[in-house]
Structure 1
């Protein structure tokens, strides 16, 4: 795994600055339009025994953002829009193809799942996950009751994690990740548990983090979660930033866009997206112009 040293640390006020970041991949393709392969079964078999053509896939087009302290930023979009790619770049798990990411401290990605062991009990995984994030045994002991409370697992914390439902496991991962009091917390699809009580507890915990001059990034397909927990929302589509704005307005337009797509109204959906993108570009141009005028004084 690429280390956090891919992220440059800030001394100034913002929590995160994303400066003209792009992400592209070179991947194998068996698309007949890129080859002279024979069609049909023989052609498909022949492709198994020769090197595939490499094509460039743009996971993220150029994106620039400044995220201030105290902000909770939601990221929405269809599957394949680049949401998780953006989170990996912010966390330092991957380096951008172009541009740079700057952070005021080490971002913590809600992804301790990699070090958790399903055969171990929940309480043992709490210790394991917290140790992996750099906490001492004394700190873990101090935080243990709070972690269990946030997870809502109660006595189930002593059962093997493999016996947990997906929602229970997600709640435990969140509770562990949030225990380290990170200044920058990244939450990727971990809050969609359908549990109203956990939603209240996790929101309270993230409000605490934000009140400590930190910021939170949340990727979720649950627009209710985004509206309840975020002060700002980014809408991504096919690697492009379409909208950056108020949670209510941004989720409303995204819902309208998705509704038109589901009904096959592609032209109406494209108009909503194009108008939102045009407004974003116009706002960015005005902000840059205002910045230049201020510098010139």
Structure 2
């Protein structure tokens, strides 16, 4: 296999700086009375409420780090990643990045009516990978994605898992300075996940920064050198992987036990 193309970054240099960032968005308030909603035709008259998805979050990520982001559903993990990638606007604070972050599942925009072959070339070019490098690595990309038999078919003929694998293979054909992986966008394919984790670890050796959002603490422990724990949009812990994951698992275990106790029927008198 050919070597991955790399971006030159000095080990330990800051790649992402997040400084007191808030991300707030508005959603339609379903709590409005149904009868009233039926008569409100003008959107300007509709009721909305603000959701503070990320609140006053600050950290600095450096090259050579694999940063895990954990927390329960709705804690702001994916929103924070999208904010760093510039896909959602921030409400307050500042985000600085040393290069354009690559968020897997979003960055390589693939065209369903084009063949897999054309998508490799166009998607890779959109990510800034030189055409010559893509052609040199074409067989490696296709083999890694496991789509050899389908590569000349239109992308719409691919399963969602095949598309996700191809996106990952394209995005990681070059080692970006900042790679972000949200496992909610992943394939669920255990064999491919093992290979993708191995590739992420290999990318770290090339001095990139990796961000991983996952509900799997095993994945976080296997891949990450540092963990951020978000709770209701706030950063409650930032430290070594084992230390933060152990604390999070204790917290979630206590939370689960308390829920069970609340649901337990009262003892007969």
TM-score range, shorter chain: 0.7 to 0.9
How much has 1:183 moved relative to structure 2? 0.8
2:228 corresponds in structure 1 to 234
Alignment pair present for 1:120 and 2:119: no
> Greater relative contact order (Cα 8 A, min sep 6): structure 1 or 2?
2
Instruction: Tell me which of 95, 99, 119 is aligned to 1:101.
Output: 95
Instruction: Tell me which of 243, 246, 255 is aligned to 1:252.
Output: 246
- For residues 258 and 159 of structure 2, the distance between their equivalents in structure 1, rounded to whole angstroms, comes to 35
Q: Retained in 1: the 8 A contact 2:108–2:167?
A: no
SS in 2 for 1:80: coil
Instruction: Tell me which of 169, 172, 188 is aligned to 2:166.
Output: 172
How much has 1:174 moved relative to structure 2? 0.8
Report 1:11-26 matches (<5 A).
Answer: 13-26=13-26
Gap runs ≥5 in structure 1: 1-11, 33-39, 269-297
How much has 1:184 moved relative to structure 2? 0.7
Aligned alpha-carbon RMSD (Å): 2.9
SS in 2 for 1:213: coil
- For residues 224 and 198 of structure 1, the distance between their equivalents in structure 2, rounded to whole angstroms, comes to 15
For residues 27-83 of structure 1, the C-alpha deviation after alignment (integer angstroms, 9 at most, x for no partner) is 442434xxxxxxx65344234567123433211110110112100011122222111
Name the TM-score, length of structure 2 as normaliser: 0.80
1:144 corresponds in structure 2 to 138
Report 1:249-288 matches (<5 A).
Answer: 249-265=243-259
Name the TM-score, length of structure 1 as normaliser: 0.73
For residues 127-150 of structure 1, the C-alpha deviation after alignment (integer angstroms, 9 at most, x for no partner) is 121122123321210121221232
Q: How many residues align?
A: 251
Which is richer in helix?
Answer: 1
- For residues 167 and 231 of structure 1, the distance between their equivalents in structure 2, rounded to whole angstroms, comes to 28
